[in-house]
Amino acid sequence: MSVASRVRMKTYVLIVLMVAFGAMGDVLLGKGMRESGGISLGSFGSFVDGIVRGFHNNLVWVGILSLIIFFLCYMLVLSWADYSFVSPASAISYAVVTFLGWMLLGEAVNSTRWLGVLVICLGVFLVGHTPTRTTGEIE
Amino acid sequence: MRVWLLLAIVVLAGTAGEISVTRAMKRIGEVHHFNPRALLGVLGRAFRIGWMWLGLGLLAMAFFSLLALLSWENVSFVVPLTALSYVVGALMAKIFLKEEVDRIRWIGVLLVVVGVVLVWVG
C-alpha cells in the first residue's frame, strides 16, 4: 500500500471510531441522565443538582468514557488529516444515528429526514474524495 | 437577541476551539503508533501546548452556551443552525491552518449543512 492510501485508510478508521464512540457516548449519557432524573435548567442550583445526581448513574460514566475516547480519536486524526476533511466527514454520524434509530428502535423517519440522510451521505462522499491532507507541518 | 448572541458563541467558539486543537495536534505531527504508552506520550505532549488549552477552553465555552441555549429553545431549532459550524470551520481552516478547500470539498461541506438541516427539520 502506498503512503497516501495508508494515511487515507488510517483516517477512515479513526473517523469510524469517532462516529461509533461519539454516538454511543451521546446515547448512554442521554439515557443515564434521564434515568437519574434529568437536568433542570430552571436555576443554577437545580442545574448543578441534576449534574451531581447524574454522576451516581453508571451509564453516565460509561457515556463520559465513550466521549473521552471519541475526543482522543479526534485529536489523533487531526495530527495528520485536515480539519476541513475530518469535520464534515464525521457528520456521517447524523445519517448513521437516524438509520440506527429507525432500524433498532423502530423510530418513525419521514421522507424529509431520509432526504437529509441522503444529502449528508452525498456530501460526505464528496469530501471523502478530496485529499486527506493539504498542509505541511505547522509551527 | 440573547438567543442569537449565544448561537454565535456556540458556532464561533466551538469552531475556533476545534481549530486550536487541530493546531496543537499538527504541531505534534502525524501519530504513527497507537499502543497505550505511545498514546499517553501524545497526550502528555498535547497538554504542554498552549493551543490545546485555548481549544479546550473555547470548547467548554461553546458547550455551556449550547446548554443555556437549549434551555430556552427547541433542539430542532438549535441544531440545524449550529450546522453552520461546518461552513465556518472550513473557512477558518483555510485562513488559520492554510488548508486547501477545493471546490469539491466546498460542495461537500454545503451538502452536509443542508442534510443536517433536513434531518432535524423533518
Are A126 and B111 an interchain contact pair (Cβ–Cβ within 8 Å)? yes
A55 to chain B, closest Cα gap in Å: 18
Number of domains in chain B: 1
Q: pLDDT by residue (tens digit) across B61-119?
A: 999 899 888 888 888 888 888 999 999 999 999 999 999 999 999 999 999 999 999 99
Spell out the long-range contacts of A67-70 with Cβ–Cβ below 8 A and sequence spacing 24 or more.
A67/A21, A67/A22, A67/A25, A67/A26, A67/A29, A69/A17, A69/A21, A69/A25, A70/A17, A70/A18, A70/A21, A70/A22, A70/A25
Write down the pLDDT at residue A41: 67
Average pLDDT score, chain A: 89
- Residue A99: closest CA among chain B residues belongs to which residue? B119
Residue B116 and residue A84: Cβ atoms within 8 Å?
Answer: no
Q: Nearest chain A Cα to B71, which residue? A: A41
A111-122: average pLDDT: 96
Tell me the shortest Cα–Cα distance from B93 to chain A, in angstroms. Answer: 6
How far apart, in whole angstroms, are the C-alpha atoms of residue A14 and residue A121?
18
Look up residue A37 and give its DSSP letter: T
Q: Say what the pLDDT of residue B85 is.
A: 95
DSSP code for B58: H
Instruction: List CB contacts (< 8 A) between A87 and chain B.
Output: 18, 85-86, 89-90, 93
The whole domain housing B15 covers: 2-121
Residue B64, number of CB atoms within 10 A of its CB: 14
Contact between A120 and B112 using a beta-carbon 8 Å cutoff: yes
Q: How many CB pairs under 8 A join A and B?
A: 156
Write down the pTM of the prediction.
0.91
The pLDDT confidence band at residue A65, using thresholds 50, 70 and 90, is: very high
Q: DSSP label at A55?
A: T
